[in-house]
Amino acid sequence: MTDKILVLDFGGQYNQLIARRIREQQVYAEIKAYNKITVEEIIETGYKGVIFTGGPNSVYDSASPHYNPEILKAGIPLLGICYGAQLMAYMSDGEVKSAENSSEYGKTVVYAKNSKLFGNIPQQSVCWMSHTDFISKTPANFDIIAVTDKCPCAAMADEGRKLYAVQFHPEVTHTEYGRQLLHNFLFEICGCTASWKMDSFAESSVEHYKEKLKDKKVLMALSGGVDSSVAAFLLHRAIGHNLTCVFVDHGLLRKDEADLVEKTFKEKFDMNLIRVNAEERFLSSLKRITEPEQKRKIIGEEFIRVFEEESAKLGKIHVLAQGTIYPDVIESGLGSSAVIKSHHNVGGLPDIIAFDEIVEPLRDLFKDEVRRLGTQLGMPAELIWRQPFPGPGLAVRVIGEITREKLDILRIADEIFRQEIDATEYRKIASQYFAVLTDMHSVGVKGDDRTYGYVMALRSVSTDDFMTAEWTKLPSELLEKVSSRITNEIPQVARVVYDITSKPPATVEWE
Ligand code: XMP
């Protein structure tokens, strides 16, 4: 059995990074909200170690997340990070204090003593701090194993019980030896073996679903994007023609996209595919809606209703499959971090749906892992490397009310932008690029005439995992060409702007 680490989520924004860093060392990591798993379940599952994550709270706040102290006696190695470190101190008999003049933010020099956790790490190195509270008194049996100039306990350990805590964040790249520290925890302290690889994940997932879905009919929500395509491939491998993919053309797709998806899945891969043309239905329920979260919820709801209807036509299918991936779950606030956006395939689900079971085979994976899984499953590269496209489609790229006219304008601009980037080497640097139709009008001049038309925005980001992203530094000649083509070829557009905001603070999509 593959060794597993549990990342117990107390609501910090870096939590998904911890799981990534562990998986990069070929140990499988699972994230669970602190209130969704008990100590008994942790013991029963056989985790080799548990990590308490950071979180936005102070341990003394009445509303702050706490955990059953029995976990400290369970004999499982623990590592507390930031809030998780303070919580460990608080759960024993230590003390945590809050002092503005002790707060540290950013790169900080840490001085470490000999300990298993700091093995092969220099005595002095740079770590990433982000805290106001600090451990002011270490619990009995714990030794201080690192300090900084301001923080009297930057790390502590009860080596006998394999309990460790660090005030800083080993998961962020600014912590010079963060990778080594996690390596020490995984291999020297928890005794894990590096055996988690994508090929074993692919194989065991196919086996798992073969067994779990034996003789069941499954309806797959296929958008044609990377995630749902990989999920469809995996399930098709497991259950063959018991899988029916339903592809909803909601009228919010890019130019020619619906035809392309239909052709690829039907002709190339011999999958059961039903295409539903539902443009009318989606556009009429989106009429006069301008608020982004409301758009997302309406689209999510309509999707499910369409699936239900299709399933009824097929003679009742009990299982619905979706290509939800891990960042969708996190950003929809299903862990314990704040809701950023309701991704339509998660947060937008209505409460009552006519399926008995929902299957999400990629729920624990990050985007790059999904792509590796696709490669492992033998999917063609052009499908795997397609740019991500949001479930709500162009609805979140037309700001304000959605109309067919606006969608048509956007589709042309989007195609121009994508064509021009695709013709250059920048297609390899930019991870996702698209146009956004703002709801702003602006004055322009064409020939001798005054014009008053839309402001079109261009967005291009470069990123590995879409959790953070940088705006792509496209050359001005390229931008100039795109701008000139858009204003020439689309009379309704008066002005083109380029979005130079990274994520955070912006998100990739405008809504
Ligand atoms: P944001 O805008 O959240 O986007 O920074 C991160 C990545 O997710 C895509 N995205 C979505 N994907 N359903 C999806 O399947 C959605 O509702 C959704 N919203 C955003 C976005 O295109 C980017 O790649």
DSSP 439-464: EEEEEEEETTEEEEEEEEEEEEEE-S
Residue range(s) occupied by CATH 3.40.50.880 in the chain: 4-189
Protein residue with its CA nearest to atom 18 in ligand 1: 390
503 lines ligand 1 (CB under 6 A): yes
- CATH number given to 397-498: 3.30.300.10
For residue 347, what pLDDT is reported?
42
Q: Is the CB of 170 under 6 A from ligand 1?
A: no
Average pLDDT rounded to a whole number, residues 388-401: 94
- What is the pLDDT at residue 356? 85
pLDDT tier at 437, thresholds 50, 70, 90: very high
pLDDT of residue 304: 83
Q: What is the C-alpha separation between 455 and 409, in angstroms, rounded? A: 11
In the chain, which segments carry CATH 3.30.300.10?
397-498
- Choose one of 466, 468, 471, 511 to mutate for the ligand 1 pocket test, by most ligand atoms within 8 angstroms of C-beta: 466
Looking at residue 330, its pLDDT comes to 63
> Among the listed ranges 13-17, 171-175, 420-424, 474-478, which one has the minimum average pLDDT value?
13-17
pLDDT, position 509: 97
Indicate whether 87 pLDDT > 90. Answer: yes
Mean pLDDT of 133-144: 95
Q: Look at residue 226 and give its three-state secondary structure.
A: helix
CATH of 4-189, one of 3.90.550.10, 3.40.50.510, 3.40.50.880, 3.40.605.10: 3.40.50.880
Look at residue 182 in the predicted model and tell me its pLDDT. 98
Are 35 and 228 in contact by the 8 Å Cβ rule? The answer is no
As annotated, the residues of the chain forming the CATH 3.40.50.620 domain(s) are 198-384
For residues 355-368, average pLDDT: 88
pLDDT-above-70 percentage for the chain? 95
Q: What is the mean pLDDT of the chain?
A: 91
Q: Is 390 in the pocket of ligand 1 (CB under 6 A)?
A: yes
CATH of domain 198-384: 3.40.50.620
Q: Is 341 in the pocket of ligand 1 (CB under 6 A)?
A: yes
The mean-pLDDT minimum among 35-39, 378-382, 442-446 falls in 378-382
Model pLDDT, residue 337: 52
Q: 250-281, pLDDT tens digit by residue?
A: 999 999 989 988 988 888 888 999 999 999 99
**Per-residue model confidence (pLDDT) at position 467:** 77
Ligand 1 centroid to 343 CA: how many Å? 7
3-state secondary structure of 387: coil
φ and ψ of 432, to 5 deg: -155, 130
Catalytic positions are 82, 169, 171
| Statement: residue 186 has pLDDT above 50 | yes
Q: Any idea which of 33-42, 240-249, 317-326, 411-420 has the lowest mean pLDDT?
A: 317-326
pLDDT tens digits for 304-356? Answer: 888 788 888 988 788 989 898 887 776 555 555 555 566 655 444 455 567 78
Atom of ligand 1 nearest to the CA of 391: 13
> Would you say 249 and 274 are in contact if contact means Cβ atoms under 8 Å apart?
no
